Structures are given as structure tokens and as C-alpha cells.
């Protein structure tokens, strides 16, 4: 399965009230369940607005079928009171405390993919845990595969790159030579219409220069 993040048109109460995250300050990813077996993305959004919030509080949200939605994205979320400026919150469809006892592979693998992608965007992440790590709560539920997901243990085969993708082959070469250590970042960003962070580009240039000097 090829994963991508869907950006829905969300009717925020006050779009101007969304505050961009300081990406360098984000040190963790908090995993949540909905404590409701049936809610979809828009049910959660409406429920959060009914609480008086701007809209859905999670930064990203993953459905049973593996569809990934952007909620607040890289704006400050509303997932863990008192910690939202240092965390990205991912919500997962389902009630993993009472109703769902096994997470579907599609949802699980989408969660692993999303966590890996976020780690590439946010280099200071060092904690991946459930909501309960930061607050007195059972979330994300006793049946949530927390350890398995935090360790990135993919179920089955990871998604294969598209055949004939020259960038994929080039990235493999650079990774094998020790020039890059975050291949998915380059696969996602070193493409037409995308942007590469200056410090990443600078590191790549310096490592290439060192490799060329060593080859003389």
C-alpha cells in the first residue's frame, strides 16, 4: 500500500487561532484511541467542537482502513493537556480499551509509516508512547499495540517503491555509502515541487565532499 496524508477541508471555529509548532521543540509523539468504536474523523471533529475547541485536537488521525488524515498538522494540537507544544498527537479510530481487541494491519502499518515520516520531519523526537505516559488516563487502551508500534515493527512487507524510480536507486547508493541516514526524508522531499531543509542539504553536501576527498 502506498501511503499519503489526506488534508481535508476543516471548518475551524477560528483558523487564525491555530498556532504553528516550533518543530525543534517537539520531543515526542503521543498515541491515542477514540474510546468510541464507531467514530470517524468528522465525528471526532464535531465532538471536539462541541467541547468548545477550535476543531479536532489531534495533529493526525488514522482510520481502520489505513487512511491518514491531517488534523491540526504542524500546528499546536489539543491531545495532551500541558504538553501540546512539545508533542504531536496521533489519533486512531476505535475503542482499544473495551471493543476492538486487535488493530487491523492496514491501520497499524499506516501508524508505523506516519511515525517514521514524522521522525524525519521532527529530528528531536525521542519518545513515542501512549497518551497515558503524560497523563492519568487509560488511553490508548489496553488492547492498543503500543510497544509494537513504537518499535516500528511492520506487519508483513513494507510498501515497495514504484518501479523505475531513479531517486530510489540513488538514495540506496548514498545510504549504503553512509552519506545519508534518513532515506525516506529524501524520497519524500527531494522531488519536484517539494522543499529540502537547509541543514539537511548542508549535511549532504559536507558528507559528499568528505567522500570525494577520501576517494582521491
156 in any annotated domain: no
In angstroms, how far is CA 90 from the centroid of its own chain?
7
157 in any annotated domain: no
The reply to whether 104 and 204 lie within a common domain is no
Is 62 in contact with 29 (CB distance < 8 Å)?
no
More confident site: 171 or 13: 13
Read off the pLDDT of each residue in 12-33 and give the average, rounded to a whole number: 96
The alpha-carbon radius of gyration of the chain (Å, integer) is 19
DSSP the chain: ----EE------S-GGG--B--GGG--EEEEEE-SBSS--HHHHHHHHHHTT-SS---SEEE-TTS-EEESSTTB--SSSTTTTTTEEEEEESB-TTTT--S--HHHHHHHHHHHHHHHHH-TT--EEEEGGGTSSS-TT-TTS-HHHHHTT--SSPPPPPPTT-HHHHHHHHHHHTTS-S-HHHHHHHSSTT----HHHHHHHHHHHHHHHHHT-
Say how far apart CA 205 and CA 168 lie, in whole Å. 19
pLDDT at 216: 46
- The sign of the dihedral angle between the CA atoms of 200, 70, 128, 156 is negative
Convert the pLDDT of each residue in 142-155 to its tens digit: 999 999 999 988 88
What is the pLDDT confidence band of residue 158, given thresholds at 50, 70 and 90? Answer: low
CATH number for the domain harbouring residue 21? 3.40.80.10
Read off the pLDDT of each residue in 147-164 and give the average, rounded to a whole number: 77
160 in any annotated domain: no
- Across 2-16, 116-130, 152-166, least confident range: 152-166
Convert the pLDDT of each residue in 59-109 to its tens digit: 999 999 999 999 999 999 999 999 999 999 999 999 999 999 999 999 999
In angstroms, how far is CA 93 from the centroid of its own chain?
15
More confident site: 42 or 173: 42
What is the pLDDT confidence band of residue 117, given thresholds at 50, 70 and 90? Answer: very high
- Could you give the number of structural domains in the chain? 2
The reply to whether 106 and 208 lie within a common domain is no
> Which of 118, 150, 182 is the last residue before a domain boundary?
150
158 in any annotated domain: no
182 in any annotated domain: yes
The reply to whether 96 and 180 lie within a common domain is no
Is the pLDDT score of 114 beyond 70? Answer: yes
pLDDT at 3: 86
pLDDT at 2: 75
In angstroms, how far is CA 134 from the centroid of its own chain?
18
- State percent of the chain over pLDDT 90: 67
Amino acid at each position: 500500500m502506498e501511503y499519503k496524508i489526506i488534508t481535508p477541508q476543516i471548518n475551524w471555529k477560528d483558523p487564525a487561532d491555530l498556532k504553528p509548532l516550533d518543530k525543534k521543540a517537539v520531543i515526542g509523539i503521543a498515541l491515542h484511541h477514540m474510546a468510541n468504536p464507531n467514530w470517524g474523523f468528522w465525528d471526532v471533529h464535531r465532538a471536539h467542537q462541541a467541547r468548545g475547541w477550535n476543531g479536532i485536537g489531534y495533529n493526525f488521525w488514522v482510520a481502520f482502513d489505513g487512511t491518514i488524515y491531517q488534523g491540526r498538522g504542524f500546528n499546536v494540537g489539543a491531545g495532551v493537556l500541558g504538553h501540546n507544544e512539545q508533542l504531536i498527537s496521533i489519533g486512531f479510530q476505535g475503542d482499544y480499551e473495551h471493543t476492538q481487541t486487535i488493530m487491523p494491519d492496514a491501520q497499524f502499518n499506516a501508524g508505523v509509516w506516519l511515525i517514521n515520516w514524522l521522525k524525519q520531519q521532527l529530528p528531536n523526537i525521542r519518545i513515542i508512547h501512549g497518551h497515558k505516559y503524560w497523563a492519568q488516563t487509560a488511553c490508548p487502551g489496553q488492547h492498543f499495540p503500543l510497544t509494537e508500534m513504537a518499535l516500528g515493527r511492520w506487519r508483513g512487507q513494507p510498501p515497495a517503491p514504484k518501479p523505475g524510480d531513479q531517486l530510489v536507486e540513488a538514495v540506496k547508493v548514498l545510504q549504503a555509502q553512509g552519506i545519508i541516514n534518513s532515506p525516506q526524508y529524501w524520497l519524500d522531499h527531494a522531488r519536484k515541487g517539494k522543499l529540502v531543509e537547509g541543514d539537511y542539504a548542508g549535511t549532504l553536501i559536507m558528507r559528499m565532499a568528505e567522500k570525494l576527498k577520501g576517494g582521491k
